A and B are shown apart, each in its own frame.
Chain A
Amino acid sequence: MDRLAYGLAALIGIAATAFGSYGMSGDVGTLRVAWLVPLGGLELTLDPLGGFFLALIGFAAVPASIYAMGSSPGERRDRFAYLVFVLSMCLVPLAANTMTFAITWELMSLASYFLVLHDRESKPSIYAGWVYAVMTHAGLACLLAGMLLLGAWTGSPRFEDWRAAAPALSGTARNAVFVLLGLGFAGKAGVIPLHVWLPLAHPAAPSHVSALMSGVMIKLGVYGLLRVSLDWLGAGPAWWGVAILVAGAASSLIGVLYALVDHDLKRLLAFHSIENIGIILLGVGSAVLYHGAGLPAAALLGLAAALYHTVNHAAFKALLFLGAGAVVHATGTRNMEELGGLIKRMPWTAACFLVGSAAIAALPPLNGFVSEWLTFVALFQNTHLAAVGLNIVFILGIASLALTGGLAMACFVKAFGITFLALPRSDAAARANEAPVPMRLAMLTLAASCVALGLGPTLVIPVLGAVAASVLGQAPPATVGDWLTLRVSGGYASLSTLAIAIALGAALLVPFVALPLVRAARRTRAYETWGCGRIIQTSRMEYTATAFANPFKRVFDFFYRPTKHLDIEFHPESRFFVERIEYENPARSIFHDWLYRPALDLLRVGARAAGALQSGSANLYLAYILAALLLMLVLA
């Protein structure tokens, strides 16, 4: 019975994938049930963009649900919340009017809130749930305000009517709606500086839920941004694209910088979600700018790159969260400083995690490389824009994407190397056991899809190109290359990950052929690691995650502003003997210190000032009502 809910969720996932893929081929239809909910009724529409996100959710939900069957089943309410979570996520991209959207969106947020809170005893988890609830409802407030305004101005709560009426609205009105909806959706996507809930909430949830939250739930924020900036409001002014592009550049860079100095395995992955949302937004922002500037081919490329990275991130981030979950399942800790050596105890998990790490670090020929390559080429197209200011924005985007790529590689050397290689740093890690079969199966499926998405861009791009073309309202490109090579923007650039893979495979064989030819010795001896004459090797001699990240902490200290605490306890007889050293070098969050703390302080001061009105005297309250009534009459 425990597993029934997860089996059901997997079936929902399969159905969603099938239905969504069907929807990607074209506008399929609308389901309206007017009596079910007030204010417009329930209305669901399957169109290519919605179909794409529906298929994406299904694609991630299947392995996550299979994985959940193998890990601890959780309490009954967790299983119920999980089912509601998956189902409501599937409905969000189908919602076709304000009320349906608000209900499904809120259902998704609430279900995930209960999943974040699954451990009701632990303080961090309660705090995470609280921050998540506040941020997600602040976002919902923005969304509802924007949607109600747009509904009032266009005279309809239906998205279909917005498309027709919104482009005719005044510039100010469209800007106001863009800002409100943009903030709401960016909050859900975890865009800097609205990201604060993400690194708290994602690690707190069970791993299969983290995989879905990071892999697909935050993508629904991207879905909303796409709807706002390209669909509902029509082509917008250039600053919309610039705002999205700059937000993307900042999120990608800042996300990876925080990930580098975080040594909680799941929190590190959560920060990488911020980074990858940033990369997706670089593609979205470029598409919005090109679309507004009348460069259809470049806009199509930017949007296709963004959609490709959306799929890819769902695949490798779900894989990595499931891998991290398997590590937590086996060792009981998420702290990388207590892990190590797991590659010997958990070879399958390690291999899958390595594939995920290489994919997220955009190493060829895996899927992350394909979409980052596309994003680079999309950003390179800015030379067709005449405005120098815009060119500079794009160059900053290119530079931040390049730096992000390098830093992500460094970060996953740390994540994989410290967690899985060398000697175990704790007893729990030394006694770890490989994950059970369903968990392995889920990870292997996702690892295989990372490889497939990497090798098959020539098959994937036409599909995504058609979705992107339907969003941008243009005909899909007739040809994008042959079976081997993807051609972009005429002769500007081409990509063939299949050729790279074949070449790499052949080149791997070169030493095997060449070494016997030059009669290389084949003797191999196993011996301990060289250690300058020390007697035994222990895990305390290994490099730690903190030490590994230290060069970055020093290089970017203007950003981290690390504080240092050094506490040494000397032997009472002599200061030359140290009994205990405690060293801490934590990074501080500039967003917490410079944005949220002042904002919260302001709120508190405001609340205290407003408290003066609340005397508790009923007479005074009656006087307030009278005053308010008079004021209304005067104003009316």
Chain B
Amino acid sequence: MIADIGVAVGQVLVVGMGAPLLVGVLRTLKARLVGRRGPSPWQPYADLRKLLGKEVVVSTTTSWVFRATPYVLVATTLVTALIVPVSSARPPLAFAGNIILLVYLFMLGTFFLALAGLDAGSAFGGMGSSRGVAVAALAEPTIIVAVFALALRADTIDLGLVVERFGQEPWLAANPAHLLAFAAFFIVMLAETGRLPVDNPATHLELTMIHEAMVLEYSGRYLALVEWAGAMKLFLFMTLLANLFVPWGLTGPAGPGAVLLGLLALAAKLAVLTGAVAVLETTVAKLRLFRVPELLAGSFALAFLSLMAVILFR
């Protein structure tokens, strides 16, 4: 019990504290790749601190939904941090509902964020909400089907047990089905966290953006909470990608040494993934909005093929 609470607090701290660094490293890497010096990797922390020091401007048009949303967003991502196997294969809240819960918790966040986008009554917010929910709705089936393909081979939908199973029998991962599911999940990760080619996290051109348009009305500590939740979401999705598909380094019931090893392994995996995302984001252009569904349909097709491969060759 005490150990569980320790792991829970530890995971929340790792995700909460590490997420801005991940975003910072990604930005620095991207800047270096295009030949700029770029800001320091610690810049997101400074940004958050700056935002926390500013006053909040709240539109008179809005209701309590707008003011509650940053808290809901943070809460859903923090709870998600207890479901994803971050440092060990036994996340503390794994019993509460597994991958389906994870997907729907992210949807809970998206639901409130989209409502907040509509709440201020500006066309930008509505546009962002409409596009944001469209992307989220189309990305969701891919996550479920891709993870089901993994679960089917591990014979459980408990994320931790899936990780453990693949960790014990690494040759299971050397399989085309695994690769297809990984590709599908990678595309969905880009879409869900608002990265290129689906959304551009660096732009503030109203007509092209999705996530940034939804949060346009936020300022001060509210914006800080929203940005922090966004960074955590990116961290969690990348962790999921890293630990589900490359589960080496994670163990089951963990002592402090194993947790440390898991964290080190995670850092290494995240570094590789961040590099990949940075290279991708500097080489591809943003897709036109109405080409995005084709990309998401493609990722769904990959996930579906992966599942078919598992069923046909079991």
A423 pairs with B104, CB closer than 8 A: no
Contacts of A520 in B (CB 8 A): 52-53, 221, 224
Contacts of A412 in B (CB 8 A): 111
Q: Which of B75, B139, B151 touches A508 (beta carbons < 8 Å)?
A: B75
Contacts of A497 in B (CB 8 A): 96-97
B59 pairs with A417, CB closer than 8 A: no
A496 pairs with B75, CB closer than 8 A: no
The chain B residue with its CB closest to the CB of A503 is B79
B126 pairs with A542, CB closer than 8 A: yes
B157 pairs with A380, CB closer than 8 A: yes
Judge whether B148 is part of the interface by a CB distance below 8 angstroms: yes
Judge whether A541 is part of the interface by a CB distance below 8 angstroms: yes
- Contacts across chains A and B counted by CB atoms under 8 Å: 269
Kindly provide the distance from the CB of A45 to the nearest chain B CB, expressed in whole angstroms.
38
Judge whether A416 is part of the interface by a CB distance below 8 angstroms: yes
Judge whether B108 is part of the interface by a CB distance below 8 angstroms: yes
B71 pairs with A410, CB closer than 8 A: no
Known contacts A369-B104, A406-B139, A413-B133; is-contact A507 B118 (Cβ 8 Å): no
Known contacts A343-B65, A493-B98; is-contact A376 B144 (Cβ 8 Å): yes
Judge whether A391 is part of the interface by a CB distance below 8 angstroms: yes
Q: Which of A365-394 contact B (CB under 8 A)?
A: 369, 372-373, 376-377, 380, 383, 388, 391-392
Contacts of A554 in B (CB 8 A): 290
Q: Which of B204-226 contact A (CB under 8 A)?
A: 216-217, 220-221, 224-225
Contacts of A515 in B (CB 8 A): 52, 221
Contacts of B55 in A (CB 8 A): 521, 523-525
B76 pairs with A362, CB closer than 8 A: no
Judge whether A36 is part of the interface by a CB distance below 8 angstroms: no
The chain B residue with its CB closest to the CB of A484 is B95
Contacts of B311 in A (CB 8 A): 383, 388, 391-392, 395
Kindly provide the distance from the CB of A635 to the nearest chain B CB, expressed in whole angstroms.
54
B140 pairs with A402, CB closer than 8 A: yes
The chain B residue with its CB closest to the CB of A495 is B97
Contacts of B161 in A (CB 8 A): 491
Known contacts A363-B107, A507-B74; is-contact A421 B63 (Cβ 8 Å): yes
A530 pairs with B122, CB closer than 8 A: yes
Kindly provide the distance from the CB of A339 to the nearest chain B CB, expressed in whole angstroms.
12
Q: How far is the CA of A529 from the CA of B219 in the complex (A)?
A: 12
Kindly provide the distance from the CB of B68 to the nearest chain A CB, expressed in whole angstroms.
9
Judge whether A492 is part of the interface by a CB distance below 8 angstroms: yes
Kindly provide the distance from the CB of B20 to the nearest chain A CB, expressed in whole angstroms.
13
Q: How many residues of A contact B (CB 8 A)?
A: 83
Judge whether B26 is part of the interface by a CB distance below 8 angstroms: no
The chain A residue with its CB closest to the CB of B109 is A363
Could you list 5 A-B pairs, sorted by A, with CB under 8 Å? A364-B105, A402-B141, A497-B97, A537-B122, A543-B118
Q: Which of B82, B105, B217, B221 touches A529 (beta carbons < 8 Å)?
A: B217
B129 pairs with A413, CB closer than 8 A: yes
Judge whether A443 is part of the interface by a CB distance below 8 angstroms: no
Q: How far is the CA of A35 from the CA of B221 in the complex (A)?
A: 76
A406 pairs with B115, CB closer than 8 A: no
Q: How far is the CA of A492 from the CA of B95 in the complex (A)?
A: 11
Known contacts A377-B157, A521-B221, A543-B127; is-contact A496 B137 (Cβ 8 Å): no
Contacts of A49 in B (CB 8 A): none
Q: How far is the CA of A410 from the CA of B138 in the complex (A)?
A: 10
Contacts of A547 in B (CB 8 A): 126-127, 130
Q: Which of A406, A422, A504 touches B75 (beta carbons < 8 Å)?
A: A504
Judge whether A405 is part of the interface by a CB distance below 8 angstroms: yes
Known contacts A364-B97, A413-B115, A503-B93; is-contact A508 B108 (Cβ 8 Å): no
Q: How far is the CA of A543 from the CA of B61 in the complex (A)?
A: 14
A423 pairs with B130, CB closer than 8 A: no
Known contacts A413-B115, A543-B118; is-contact A405 B104 (Cβ 8 Å): yes
Kindly provide the distance from the CB of A136 to the nearest chain B CB, expressed in whole angstroms.
33
A521 pairs with B136, CB closer than 8 A: no
Q: How many residues of B contact A (CB 8 A)?
A: 86
The chain B residue with its CB closest to the CB of A491 is B156
B293 pairs with A555, CB closer than 8 A: yes
Judge whether A561 is part of the interface by a CB distance below 8 angstroms: no
A399 pairs with B96, CB closer than 8 A: no
Known contacts A377-B157, A542-B123; is-contact A537 B61 (Cβ 8 Å): yes
The chain B residue with its CB closest to the CB of A487 is B95
Known contacts A508-B75, A521-B54, A537-B121; is-contact A406 B137 (Cβ 8 Å): yes
User: Which of A358, A504, A511, A521 has the most chain B CB within a 10 Å cutoff?
Assistant: A511
> When each residue 196-234 of chain A gets 1 if its CB lies under 8 Å from chain B and 0 otherwise, what string results?
000000000000000000000000000000000000000
Q: How far is the CA of A237 from the CA of B224 in the complex (A)?
A: 58
B289 pairs with A551, CB closer than 8 A: yes
Known contacts A518-B52, A525-B57, A537-B61; is-contact A416 B115 (Cβ 8 Å): yes
Known contacts A496-B97, A499-B93; is-contact A399 B145 (Cβ 8 Å): yes
B118 pairs with A508, CB closer than 8 A: no
Interface of B is mostly: helix
Judge whether A589 is part of the interface by a CB distance below 8 angstroms: no
Contacts of A512 in B (CB 8 A): 71
Contacts of A541 in B (CB 8 A): 121-123
User: Which of B130, B137, B143 has the most chain A CB within a 10 Å cutoff?
Assistant: B137
B148 pairs with A380, CB closer than 8 A: yes
Kindly provide the distance from the CB of A347 to the nearest chain B CB, expressed in whole angstroms.
9
Q: Which of B263-314 contact A (CB under 8 A)?
A: 289-290, 293, 300, 304, 307-308, 311-312
A398 pairs with B57, CB closer than 8 A: no
Judge whether A274 is part of the interface by a CB distance below 8 angstroms: no
Contacts of A410 in B (CB 8 A): 114, 133-134, 136-137
Contacts of A510 in B (CB 8 A): 74-75, 78
Contacts beyond the supplied A499-B93, A510-B75, A541-B122: 9 A-B pairs with Cβ under 8 Å: A372-B104, A380-B151, A383-B155, A417-B118, A494-B158, A500-B101, A529-B120, A542-B121, A552-B134
Q: How far is the CA of A526 from the CA of B57 in the complex (A)?
A: 6
Kindly provide the distance from the CB of A117 to the nearest chain B CB, expressed in whole angstroms.
36
Judge whether B100 is part of the interface by a CB distance below 8 angstroms: yes
> When each residue 477-518 of chain A gets 1 if its CB lies under 8 Å from chain B and 0 otherwise, what string results?
000000001000001111111011001100110111001001
A492 pairs with B156, CB closer than 8 A: yes
Contacts of A420 in B (CB 8 A): 63
Judge whether A327 is part of the interface by a CB distance below 8 angstroms: no
Q: Which of B82, B122, B293 touches A531 (beta carbons < 8 Å)?
A: B122
Kindly provide the distance from the CB of A193 to the nearest chain B CB, expressed in whole angstroms.
23
Q: How far is the CA of A327 from the CA of B221 in the complex (A)?
A: 34
Contacts of B56 in A (CB 8 A): 521, 523-525
B101 pairs with A373, CB closer than 8 A: yes
Q: Which of B52, B65, B75 touches A507 (beta carbons < 8 Å)?
A: B75
B118 pairs with A421, CB closer than 8 A: yes
Judge whether A329 is part of the interface by a CB distance below 8 angstroms: no
Known contacts A495-B96, A495-B101, A511-B225; is-contact A526 B144 (Cβ 8 Å): no
Contacts of A154 in B (CB 8 A): none
Q: How far is the CA of A496 from the CA of B100 in the complex (A)?
A: 12
Judge whether B230 is part of the interface by a CB distance below 8 angstroms: no
Judge whether B254 is part of the interface by a CB distance below 8 angstroms: no
Judge whether A94 is part of the interface by a CB distance below 8 angstroms: no
Q: How far is the CA of A380 from the CA of B225 in the complex (A)?
A: 36
Kindly provide the distance from the CB of B246 to the nearest chain A CB, expressed in whole angstroms.
24
Q: How far is the CA of A511 from the CA of B100 in the complex (A)?
A: 26
Contacts of B65 in A (CB 8 A): 343, 354, 421
B107 pairs with A406, CB closer than 8 A: yes
Q: How far is the CA of A542 from the CA of B118 in the complex (A)?
A: 8
Q: How far is the CA of A391 from the CA of B70 in the complex (A)?
A: 41
Judge whether B30 is part of the interface by a CB distance below 8 angstroms: no
Q: How far is the CA of A185 from the CA of B287 in the complex (A)?
A: 46
Kindly provide the distance from the CB of B10 to the nearest chain A CB, expressed in whole angstroms.
15
Judge whether A407 is part of the interface by a CB distance below 8 angstroms: yes
Contacts of B131 in A (CB 8 A): 551
Judge whether B72 is part of the interface by a CB distance below 8 angstroms: yes
